[in-house]
Amino acid sequence: MGHLVIIESPLTGAGPRLIETALGEGHFVTLFSARVSFFLENIVHPRFDAILQDVFCDTLVQRISAVKRPDMPFSIVTVFDRAVARAAKMAEIFEVETLSSDVLERATSKVEQREILVRNGLPQANRKIVFSIDELEIVLPDLHFPLVIKPEYGYGSAGVRLCSSPEDARSHFLTLHSMSDTSVDVVSLGATLLDEYLEGPEFGVEIFDDQCIGVVVKHVAKNHHDFIEEGYLCDAKLPNFLLDILKNSALSATRALSIYHGPCHVDVKLTKDGPYVIEVNPRVAGSLISNLVADVYGFDLVKALLYKSFNQSLSGARVSSIVCSSAVLFVHDWDLRGNLLPPNFELLNDIYSVQFRRQDIPSRCRSGMLSGATRGNDDIWNLLQSVRRLLIESRCEETFNANSISEVFGDLLNRQTTRDLTV
């Protein structure tokens, strides 16, 4: 039993999973966050507390000192983009083992990260860096559209947009500079980066302690300029030569940045000219990527982070891999066309499992989420797309129950067992 302090957290994915995993392992958990109401409403446990705090404020050290339990092992972590360097600085102050906060400061600046990767021979997209609208006007004639325009510091894909014209670029630049620098959901402004867009499939390479754990195929919603995710696929059938290319590219990047400790999520695009590292994120992957990796590769990244934070063996993070492929597919607001969603449900047979969960994440235009896995060689991604299409076309009503769900989706899974998961 120990005391885990978490410095800020995303509202979905690895953040809540880390809290729930730590509580399940018997630890006390204290979360410092600007959004405590969400966590206090959704996680009720005698060993959990959430404290309202701007984690970038100087008072954070005193607040941690006030709650630190002296009678048990103590650690400080985060899975939140903007807070990784801050959490490392707190860990250093409280003499908790961590990756250097200086290393993380450099890695979380998209400007410094790129400079280090280029110095180490990793190819990068053509980029210009600007601080003002006048500088933007000067560099635009030297770039080829479309451009990916993003802030130097950001959370997820917040503030990132694909711009197809100079007018679009100017508009997005002004939008970026009108955002609040204090919102944990938006961005922390510095330079504005203009990258020429790279064509090709995108992958997430998951690394822990300088070892490649697995690879996830990333799908971005088509015809959407804000890089809204359509979903993720983790497939054990990816060819070894592709895995080797992605693994070597990602590890070259993390080693160039001196990231040898803990989790790292690396975005890599495979272009006609070879692999390009898009971004290195020194944290556990967001959304449900860690779940997919555990399903297929048998290694739980969230558990590994927890065990490492208390200097425990990582053997407990190794789980039985029971599926060949696993995927998450989101249902977005624009998919629904005014239709209502059914209650949460799960479809099961000997080969497949498919779950649906309602979600309400306006910042990602997200209304629901389908997740699925298969023990066979079937294409789970296409299956989830078929379920989503039927879900939308069925004009689902609030009165949907397990039987009506079976009628709509039963043929797709040979009319096997259906469980209504509505709470």
CATH code where residue 26 lies: 3.40.50.20
Residue 139's Cα: distance from chain center in Å?
32
Burial letters 65-85, b for 16+ CB under 10 A, else e: eeeeeeeeebbbbbbbbbbbb
Q: Do residues 29 and 6 touch, judged by C-beta distance below 8 A?
A: yes
Listed residue (309, 319, 287) closest to 204, CA to CA: 287
Does 392 score more than 90 pLDDT?
A: no
What does the pLDDT read at residue 333?
A: 84
CATH number of 138's domain = 3.30.1490.20
Say whether both 231 and 278 belong to one domain.
Answer: yes
Q: Is residue 262 part of a domain?
A: yes
Q: Kindly state whether residue 110 falls inside one of the protein's structural domains.
A: no
Q: 252, 285, 317: which is the final residue of a domain?
A: 317
Same domain assignment for residues 286 and 331: no
- Whether 288 and 209 map to the same domain: the answer is yes
Distance CA 6, CA 15 (A): 9
Give residue for tokens 């967001």.
286
pLDDT at 178: 81
Minimum mean pLDDT range among 198-202, 299-303, 329-333, 407-411: 407-411
pLDDT reported for residue 206: 98
Global pTM exceeds 0.85: yes
For 36-55, write each residue's pLDDT tens digit. 999 999 999 999 999 999 99
Q: In the structure, what pLDDT confidence band is assigned to residue 423 with cuts at 50, 70 and 90?
A: very low
pLDDT of residue 193: 94
Distance set, CA 174 to CA 143, 158, 164, 169 (Å): 19, 15, 16, 9
Question: What is the number of residues in the chain?
Answer: 423
Q: Which of 81, 98, 115 is the last residue of a domain?
A: 98
> Residue 414 falls within a domain, yes or no?
yes
Choose the most confident range, by mean pLDDT, from 85-89, 223-227, 373-377, 383-387.
Answer: 85-89
Residue type, 319: V
Place of tokens 């690394």: 207
What is residue 155's predicted lDDT score, i.e. its pLDDT?
67
Query: Furthest-apart CA pair in the chain: how many Å?
Result: 62
Residue 121 belongs to a domain: no
User: What pLDDT digit, counting tens, does each position of 325-341 carry?
Assistant: 999 999 888 877 666 77
Tell me how far apart the alpha carbons of residues 312 and 144 are, in angstroms, rounded to a whole number.
Answer: 50
pLDDT of the residue at 18: 97
Which pLDDT band, with edges at 50, 70 and 90, does 363 fall under? Answer: confident
- Determine the Cα–Cα distance for residues 129 and 149; give it in Å rounded to an integer: 10
Summarize the confidence of residues 125-132 as an average pLDDT.
Answer: 94
Q: In which band, very low, low, confident or very high, does the pLDDT at 176 lie, cut at 50, 70 and 90? A: confident
User: Same domain, yes or no, for 186 and 203?
Assistant: no
Total number of domains constituting the chain: 4
DSSP state of 141: G
The answer to whether 211 touches 179, Cβ cutoff 8 Å, is no
Q: Same domain, yes or no, for 378 and 352?
A: yes
pLDDT at 416: 43
Q: Would you say residue 402 has pLDDT above 60?
A: no
Same domain, 344 and 382: yes
Q: Are residues 192 and 207 in the same domain?
A: no
Of 147, 205, 149, the C-alpha closest to 175 is: 149
Q: What phi and psi, each to the nearest 5 degrees, are found at residue 161?
A: -145, 145
112 lies in some domain: no
pLDDT band at 188 (very low <50, low <70, confident <90, very high): low
What strands, in cross-sheet order, belong to the sheet with 366-374? Answer: 274-281, 263-271, 202-208, 211-220, 229-235, 325-332, 366-374, 352-361, 345-348, 418-420
331 domain residue, yes or no: yes
- Whether 32 and 83 map to the same domain: the answer is yes
| The pLDDT of residue 112 is above 90 | yes
Instruction: Decide if pLDDT at 130 tops 80.
Output: yes
Domain range for 209: 199-317
With a cut of 90, say whether residue 246 has pLDDT above it.
yes
